[in-house]
Structure 1
Amino acid sequence: MKLSGEAKLLRIFIGESDKWRGRPLYEAIVLEAKARGLAGATVFKGFMGFGAHSRVHTAKILQLSEDLPVMVEIVDTEEKIQAFLPVLDEMVREGLVTLEKVEVIRYQARKGE
């Protein structure tokens, strides 16, 4: 797959304990993005954060949380991202979804892969 120049960056902010059909939501989003042929997705786990409910979730030892913040990033063409948004809308019941323009400098697999 070739991806270069102008693209879109989709960010999904959810909780670690959020579920979709019995599996972690972040995992379900990544697998769905892969199944739909998007260029790539990465999941980041946060150490601390809060969202719409203003509850602080933290990884501090004295305040262990089982629902740490999670961010999923997906980069692809605007057309593919726009086609994925209705699917994402069904999956993400609570969280924040952002979209921004990015410029892809390099997207390349190793030869033979």
Structure 2
Amino acid sequence: MALEFNKTSYLKIYTGEDVLFEDIPLYKAILREARSLGLAGGTVIKGIEGYASKVRGVGRAVSTFISGNANFPVVVELVDKKENLEKILPFLEKNAPHALVVMGEVDYLVTDFMRKAAEGYKDIRNGSPQPSYLRKQQEQQQ
């Protein structure tokens, strides 16, 4: 079977571990907002070192044994269609003024799992109580 690739978009938000939104880390607030908007997926990656030309923000100081205070870099990666990712931009503009936000397009490998999941999502949207791939598995077991 030939490999199949589809296009999608990503949004990366570069910030610091100690940057807060209200009373929680900004990266957690971004994931919470992305989930509430129904974005396809998000991941937080914590760096071990980094730098920026300006201070990324102020907040609590994280104490480390070796070097004193640290502000480890954090990258939030969101993946979805561009028009869906654009829904979170007003939140970022308002609440992440020190963050660097980049958007781009990528190709992703379509796996059998993704095909089955997409088929199931179509069934759910059409009102079927159970994704067809699960029904087929149950029928084969009987």
Q: Specify every segment of 5 or more residues in structure 2 that has no aligned partner in the other structure, as ranges.
A: 57-63, 118-132, 135-142
CA shift at 1:54, angstroms?
A: 7.1
| Number of the residue aligned with 1:20 | 21
1:83 maps to a residue whose letter is K
Q: How does 1:69-80 map to 2 (within 5 A)?
A: 69-80=73-84
TM-score normalised by L of structure 1: 0.80
Query: Which of the numbers 81, 87, 104 marks the counterpart of 2:85?
Result: 81
Single out whichever of 100-109 and 64-73 deviates more from structure 2: 100-109
Regions of 4+ moved over 4 Å: none
| Number of the residue aligned with 1:63 | 67
Larger RCO of the pair (alpha carbons < 8 Å, separation 6+): 1
| Number of the residue aligned with 1:99 | 103
SS at match of 1:48: coil
Q: Is the 8 A contact 1:51 1:95 kept in 2?
A: no
Tell which structure's C-alpha radius of gyration is larger.
2
- Give per-residue Cα distances to partners, 1:16-42, cap 9 Å, x unaligned: 010111111000000110010000100
Taking a change above 3 Å as real, the CA distance of residues 27 and 105 of structure 1, as seen in their structure-2 partners, is same
Q: Tell me how large the CA RMSD over aligned residues is.
A: 2.5
- Report sequence identity in percent: 34
Aligned length: 105
Which structure shows the bigger proportion of residues in helix conformation?
2
1:99 maps to a residue whose letter is M
